[in-house]
Structure 1
Amino acid sequence: MSIQLLVAYDTSDGHCAYAGQHLARGARAAGADVRLRQVTSCHRSDFRDLDGLILGSPVHQRGMSWPMKKFIDELCEPSWFYDDMVGRACGVFTTGGGHGNVGGGCEMAQLSMLANLAAMGCVMVPFPKCTRGFDVAGMHWGPHIRVTSDDMTPLQPHELPEEALDAVYHHGAAICRIAEALKRRALDGQLFDAGGRFPSREVLSVRSDHDGGAGAQGSRR
C-alpha cells in the first residue's frame, strides 16, 4: 500500500531543513513516498492524495516562523473548508535555541501548528518517551532539536546531536506507520461522522470557484 506524506518545513539557518531530511529518511524507510518541501516552495497541488502531513518550523519568538504561518493560512486553510485532510496522520517538529535549557518556546510553537492540523481533521501522532532520542530531543508533541550549545554558541546543521537526528528519523517512521493504519481502516469504512454540513454547500461552491476547483482529495469522514 502506497503511503503519501508531505513534509513541509521552514528553515532559517539550515537546521530545520537538515532535521526534515532525517525525518523524511525515516518515513521512507518505513515505506512512505515523501514529498519534502520548503513551505515557500509549496503549492496546493502538493496536498493531492496525501495520507499524512508533517510540519517543521524553527522557533521564532516563542512561536512558529512567519513563513510557516503563511503556509498554514494560505495553503492549509482550504482543507478546513473541503475536509480533504480529515482522518490523515499528522505530526510536527521544531528546531531552536533560547536562553536556558527549556527550548525557548518550542512547546507553544508545536502546539500552534498542531492546533491548525487538528482544525483540518488530522490525527496527531505524538512523540512518546519510549522513542529513541527522546532523552535529547523529547517533547511529547514532537521532537525539538536544540541548535545552540549551553553557552548559546550556534551549531552548524552537521553538528546537531546524532541522538536528536535519530529522534526525528523515528518520528517520521512512526507517522508513516500510523498513516498506513488509518488508510487501511478507512478502506473498511469512514473514520469520522459525516453528518455535519458546515460550511454550507453554497459557501463551498463560492469557495471552490475562488480556488479554481474542489479540494485536493476525498474526505475520510
Structure 2
Amino acid sequence: MAKVLVLYYSTYGHIETMAQALAEGARSAGAEVDIKRVPETAPEDVARDNHFELDQAAPIANVEDLGNYDAIIIGTGTRFGRMSSQMAAFLDQAGGLWARGALNGKVGAAFASTASQHGGQETTLFSLITNLLHFGMTIVGLPYSFQGQMTMGEITGGTPYGATTLAGGDGSRQPSQLELDGARHQGELVARTAAKLFG
C-alpha cells in the first residue's frame, strides 16, 4: 500500500478543500493518505485581521516528515504567479533531505488556486514542480485522461500540470464540482503510480 502525503498551504480554505479531494482520490486507489499543512508565517494579528482561516483540521507538518512517504502532493494559492511564501519557507528547509537524496525516485505532484483564470495557475504549479524535480521526484500531473479539463461549458481551473481552482478576486468562489473531480483524478493517479513504483 502506497503512503501518500497531501501537503498544503491555504489562506482562505480553497486549497484546503482541494487537498481533501486529492486525498479522496488517492484513498480510492488504495493508498494510505495523510493530510498536513505548512506553518503560517504571517504574524497572528495580521492573519486574524485579514480573516485567514487559522483553525484548519490538518496537523502542521515537519520537514523531516516528507521522507516517510512514497508520494507527496503539494498545493498552495498563488502569489503573483508563484507559490506562497509560506510554502516556499517550508520547502527551503528541506536541504537536508535533498543532500541525503531522501526523496529521490518518489512521486511528486502539485495543485494550486488563483483568483482568476489568468492569475498564474501554470506558473504557480511549475514553481512547485521545480522544487519536486530538484528533490529527484517523478512528477504526475493531471493528464487529459481527465476529460473535464476539455470543457468549454464553464469557467474552470485544471491544467495538464496539476489540479487547480479559481477563487475569484474576493475569494467568494469555492472549488467547483469539476475542479474537485480533477483533484480526485490526480490524487488517484498519484496513488496508482506510487503503487506501481513501490508496491
Give yes or no for TM over 0.5.
Answer: yes
Match in the other structure for 1:96:
114
User: Over residues 74-93 of structure 1, what are the superposed CA-to-partner deviations in whole Å (9 max), with x where a residue is unaligned?
Assistant: 1x322210101111111000
State the AA in 2 paired with 1:175: V
- In 1, Cα distance between equivalents of 2:19 and 2:87: 14
Q: Give the TM-score of the pair, scaled to structure 2.
A: 0.82
1:132 touches 1:170 (CA, 8 Å); kept in 2?
A: no
The 5 A counterparts of 1:181-196 are: 181-184=196-199
C-alpha change, 1:133 and 1:155, in structure 2 (3 Å) is farther
CA distance in 1 between counterparts of 2:173 and 2:123 reads: 24
What is the SS of the residue equivalent to 1:144?
strand
How far apart are 1:48 and its partner, in Å?
A: 4.0
Q: Is the 8 A contact 1:132 1:163 kept in 2?
A: no
The residue that corresponds to 1:147 in the other structure is 167
The letter of the residue matching 2:85 is W
Q: Which residue of 2 aligns with 1:39?
A: 38
Question: Which consecutive residues of structure 1, in runs of 5 or more, have no partner in the other structure?
Answer: 185-221
Q: Distance in 2 between matches of 1:83 and 1:45?
A: 13
Which amino acid in structure 1 is aligned with residue 125 of structure 2?
Q
DSSP 3-state at the match of 2:79: coil
Q: 1:171 aligns with which of 186, 190, 194?
A: 186
- TM-superposition CA deviations, 1:175-205 (whole Å, max 9, x none): 0000111114xxxxxxxxxxxxxxxxxxxxx
The match for 2:75 is 56
Whether 2:81 is the aligned partner of 1:66: answer: no
Give how far 1:153 is off: 5.0
Q: 1:44 deviation in Å?
A: 3.0
Distance in 2 (alpha carbons) for counterparts of 1:118 and 1:46? 18
Letter in 2 for 1:39: V
Residue 128 of structure 1 is matched in structure 2 by 143
Query: Whole-Å Cα distance in 1 between the matches of residues 13 and 86 of structure 2?
Result: 14
SS of 1:133's equivalent in the other structure is helix
Equivalent residue, structure 1, for 2:97 = 79
**2:64–2:97 Cα contact (<8 Å) kept:** no
| Divergent runs of 4+, >3 A | none
Shift of 1:140: 1.4
- CA–CA distance in structure 2, aligned partners of residues 4 and 36 of structure 1: 11
Check conservation: 1:27, 1:34, Cα contact below 8 A.
Answer: yes
* Partner residue, 1:217: none
Of all paired residues, the percent bearing the same amino acid is: 27
d(CA) in 2 for partners of 1:55, 1:110:
9
Q: How many corresponding residue pairs?
A: 174
